Amino acid sequence: MTVRRVQGSEVEYGIAVQGQPHANPMVTSTHVVNSYASAHHLTRRARWDFEEENPLRDARGFDLGRGDADPSQLTDEDLGLANIILTNGARLYVDHAHPEYSSPEVTSPRDVVIWEKAGEEVMRSAAELASQIPGHGTVVLYKNNIDNKGASYGSHENYLMDRAVPFDQIVTHLTPFFASRQVVCGAGRVGQQQDGSVHAFQVSQRADYFEVGVGLETTLKRPIINTRDEPHADARKYRRLHVIIGDANCSETSIYLKHGTASLVLALIEAGRTVTDLTLENPVAALHEISYDPTLRTTVRLADGRTVTALDLQGEYLQRARALVDDTGDADEQTLDVLERWEDVLTRLAHDPMDLATELDWVAKLALLERYRERDGLDWDHAKLHLVDLQYHDVRTERGLFHQLVRTGRMKRLVDPAEIQAAITEPPVDTRAWFRGKCLQYFSDDIAAASWDSVIFDLPGYASLQRVPTMEPLRGTREHVGALFDSRPTATELFRALTGSS
Amino acid sequence: MSEQQHKSNRPSRDADEQVEATEVDTEAKAKLDDDVDSILDEIDDVLEENAEEFVRSFVQKGGQ
């Protein structure tokens, strides 16, 4: 029983060009990604050409570069190519008119915090670079999920699971957890309903955009449980649980607990510790009702007729996780820390949610909003409150209100900023992301493409591209292949050592 | 900061709860409350101008 498992996060950022509300977001997003690629030499001499490399046609995604093209030369017809891999093992690309950062695979919630936060640094830098393109306006990115006019964009989590766990068990036991966890990891929103037409605060950015219980969609009729089955690993052994219900968090505490508590609940499910008596009568309605009440007193009805609050539900999961940890008696330090913080946060939320104003996003945001309302006598429909909501997520340190709170000591941090700085370029050491990242770091000229489950070399003297599969997420670690890099081999020497060829 | 502002910042806290709070908590919260004016002043300095126009023009395409 542990919070440790292979996991990661994906965040689509909101994007705007100052003074140019009609700027094409796909073009601007492409500028953001390619500016970063160019500045960090993450481009390749040759373009990836799917047509000429038949043996590799099934390789997914991950074109490495735009050659030496200046970002300002990009046109619409080139837009499909903004898709790079960073030396930290992450993916930076354009998805649905938003720049997206997908973290490298890590093995703990704390490492998710570090590499997701490193992604914010990447995005901030990328936007600055794009803004320097001659004739280009200032690009501003927002780590949020909505425009409050009907559009929503995602922040997803991924968790590697045992394939043997039946999916219906996952649906049953995760749904009440997901409907209620927003009290810990909601990002807060001014406005209710998808178009924000009801003028009130709510706990979650994303709650209103979830309309069904289970499904494959991610861009419309979004489901609480997403059924995408694309493991990016050995499908006989693993499932990648793709979680689309979650807000983009700025708070390190929220990110940490979001991943830590989900990992624990998945461990409960894998261990067969079922929690069927928490099944909600109407999960989607419960999700919305919980989000609409920042006092957290709202009750929702279970299938067995009982009524409970979100804090009751979270408390039930906490108790069961703690019981399993106690029974197995082998908990690591981070697992105990997650349990302790989870309990502490739930206890203080029950006392007064405002007690978490220096730790959780939605509470920090609400505290600011309430102070404005009080000082300036503002109603919830006032533009200034909407602006505070939006600008909380501005990734620029000098403008973003979250960053303002951090800088002035009003928002607690969990990790050392130096760890985040290092993670901008360094991959995690304990997953296959280490191999991917180091290959990009040392051999970017010799790599044609890479993906979560492969690195494809273009080696001198080889007529075709050479694919190194990485189907096991816990192989390709520093411990596993680090020695091969110690002698600073050429790409060809590395490839031969890996494959035992000569 | 006026006493009135101080009280109204924490409307949900009644007298009993305040007695239960530890001394450290009380001090920390008092400090937070003292910060209120400076927080808003600082944020006023960085908030985008013309809130209405800014918020109206923030239109995104849908994503995942």
pLDDT tens, position by position, A411-470 = 999 999 999 999 999 999 999 999 999 999 999 889 988 899 999 999 999 999 999 999
Per-residue pLDDT at A107 exceeds 50: yes
Mean pLDDT (chain A, rounded): 91
Per-residue pLDDT at B63 exceeds 50: yes
The helix (H) or strand (E) run that includes residue A7 is strand A7-12
Q: If you write DSSP's letter for every residue of chain B in order, what string do you get?
A: --HHHHHHTSTT--HHHHHHS-HHHHHHHHHHHHTHHHHHHHHHHHSPSSHHHHHHH-------
Both tokens of A100, joined, read 């997206």
CB contact under 8 A, B57 and A147: no
Give the model's pLDDT for residue B33: 61
Per-residue pLDDT at A49 exceeds 60: no
Enumerate the residues of chain A whose CB falls inside 8 A of the CB of residue B9.
370-371, 374
* Percentage above 70 pLDDT, chain A: 92
Both tokens of A323, joined, read 């019981």
Q: Kindly report, residue by residue over A165-186, the tens digit of the pLDDT.
A: 999 999 999 999 999 999 999 9
Residues 9-38 of B with CB under 8 A from A: 9-10, 12-13, 17, 32, 35-36
Enumerate the residues of chain B whose CB falls inside 8 A of the CB of residue A146.
60
d(CA A468, CA A50): 17
CB contact under 8 A, A152 and B62: yes
Q: How confident is residue A82, by pLDDT bands cut at 50, 70 and 90?
A: confident
Distance from CA of A102 to the nearest CA of B (A): 13
Per-residue pLDDT at A65 exceeds 50: no
Give the model's pLDDT for residue A77: 39
Distance from CA of A14 to the nearest CA of B (A): 7
Bin A94: left if φ > 0, else alpha if -120 < ψ < 50, else beta.
beta
Per-residue pLDDT at A52 exceeds 70: no
Q: How confident is residue A500, by pLDDT bands cut at 50, 70 and 90?
A: confident
Give the model's pLDDT for residue A229: 87
Q: What is the dihedral of CA A266, A267, A272, A276, to 10 degrees?
A: -40
What is the rounded average pLDDT of the residues A76-89? 72
Give the model's pLDDT for residue A110: 98
Q: Are A210 and A154 in contact, with CB atoms under 8 Å apart?
A: no
Give the model's pLDDT for residue B15: 42
pTM tops 0.80: yes
Catalytic residues of A: 95
Distance from CA of B49 to the nearest CA of A (A): 10
Among B24, B32, B42, B55, pick the best mutation site for testing chain A contact (most A Cβ within 10 A): B55
Query: Beta-carbon neighbour count of residue A160 at 10 Å?
Result: 23
Enumerate the residues of chain A whose CB falls inside 8 A of the CB of residue B13.
352
Q: Flag the least confident range among A19-28, A96-105, A395-404, B29-38.
A: B29-38
Q: Kindly report, residue by residue over A218-233, the tens digit of the pLDDT.
A: 888 999 999 988 899 9
Beta strands in A60-219 (DSSP E): 83-85, 91-95, 98-102, 139-142, 155-162, 189-192, 198-202, 210-215
Q: Is the ipTM of this complex over 0.90?
A: no
Helix H segments across A293-382? 310-328, 333-351, 361-376
DSSP state of A213: E
What is the rounded average pLDDT of the residues A353-372? 97
Give the model's pLDDT for residue A389: 98
Q: Are A248 and A172 in contact, with CB atoms under 8 Å apart?
A: no
Give the model's pLDDT for residue B39: 87
Nearest to A389 by CA among A99, A209, A192, A181: A192
Q: How confident is residue A56, by pLDDT bands cut at 50, 70 and 90?
A: very low
CB contact under 8 A, A97 and B5: no
Enumerate the residues of chain B whose CB falls inside 8 A of the CB of residue A390.
54-55, 58
Give the model's pLDDT for residue A501: 78
CB contact under 8 A, A151 and B64: no
Give the model's pLDDT for residue B9: 41
Q: Which residue of A has its CA nearest to B52?
A: A383
Give the model's pLDDT for residue A365: 98
Q: Are A162 and A238 in contact, with CB atoms under 8 Å apart?
A: yes
Per-residue pLDDT at A242 exceeds 80: yes
Could you tell me if A397 lies within 8 Å of chain B, comparing CB atoms?
no
What is the rounded average pLDDT of the residues A92-96? 90
Helices (H) and strands (E) in chain A, counts: 15, 17
What is the rounded average pLDDT of the residues B17-24? 46
What is the rounded average pLDDT of the residues A250-259? 98
Q: How confident is residue B25, by pLDDT bands cut at 50, 70 and 90?
A: low
